[in-house]
């Protein structure tokens, strides 16, 4: 079952790219005492994710942060090298590119999808949430498209 509004985000250790390579970071560290926007995509460098989803957050990062958000996190079932390269290719300096290489976070929040039939393995669903001090205060999942999980949807929810 998917995580619900009012529930605490599970503490999972993931990775971000540091100056000397991949570094461990826990979701507890990311969310403790902060208001954080998280959006998840099925895969880095994939068409919708690269053409619309991530760019929307890049363009609107300042407006989102102006509404009291401490950080914006993009997560995907990719490794830290891929997430870092995608962030750089997308000019996503204001966004934490969080690598969920083994789908541990997506699984822990109950938002995976099985794409093994198309040789993509277990992936994250496309979702967005607002997390305040580790507790989900808003959550939307897009079955198709990204109307519910776009940067504009987040801005409307803040």
Q: pLDDT digit string (tens) for 48-59?
A: 777 778 999 999
pLDDT per residue as tens digits for the range 91-143: 999 999 999 999 999 999 999 988 888 888 888 999 999 999 999 999 999 98
Q: Is residue 99 part of a domain?
A: yes
In which band, very low, low, confident or very high, does the pLDDT at 145 lie, cut at 50, 70 and 90?
A: confident
Q: CATH number for the domain including 69?
A: 3.40.30.10
Q: Is residue 3 part of a domain?
A: no
C-alpha 65/C-alpha 51 separation (Å) is: 22
The residues pairing with 74 across neighbouring beta strands, listed in sequence order, are: 39, 97
Domain of 86 in residue numbering reads as 13-157
Q: Is residue 7 part of a domain?
A: no
DSSP state of 90: T
Longest CA span, the chain: 42
Query: What is the tally of structural domains in the chain?
Result: 1
Q: Is residue 41 part of a domain?
A: yes
Question: Is the distance from CB of 141 to CB of 109 less than 8 angstroms?
Answer: no
Q: Is residue 77 part of a domain?
A: yes
- Residues carrying an active site annotation: 49
Distance (Å) of CA 18 to CA 3, 80, 83, 97, 154: 29, 9, 12, 11, 27
């Amino acid at each position: 079952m998917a995580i619900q509004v009012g529930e605490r985000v599970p503490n999972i250790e993931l990775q971000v790219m540091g100056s000397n390579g991949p570094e461990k970071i826990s979701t507890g560290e990311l969310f403790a005492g902060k208001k954080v926007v998280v959006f998840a995509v099925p895969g880095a460098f994939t068409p919708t994710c690269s053409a619309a989803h991530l760019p929307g957050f890049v363009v609107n990062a300042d407006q989102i942060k102006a509404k009291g958000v401490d950080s914006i996190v993009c997560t995907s079932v990719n490794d830290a090298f891929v997430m870092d390269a995608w962030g750089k290719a997308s000019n996503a300096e204001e966004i934490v590119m969080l690598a969920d290489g083994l789908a541990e976070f997506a699984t822990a929040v109950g938002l995976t999808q099985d794409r093994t039939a198309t040789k993509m393995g277990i992936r994250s669903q496309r979702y967005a949430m607002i997390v305040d001090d580790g507790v989900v205060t808003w959550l939307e999942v897009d079955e198709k498209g990204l109307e519910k999980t776009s940067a504009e949807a987040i801005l409307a929810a803040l």
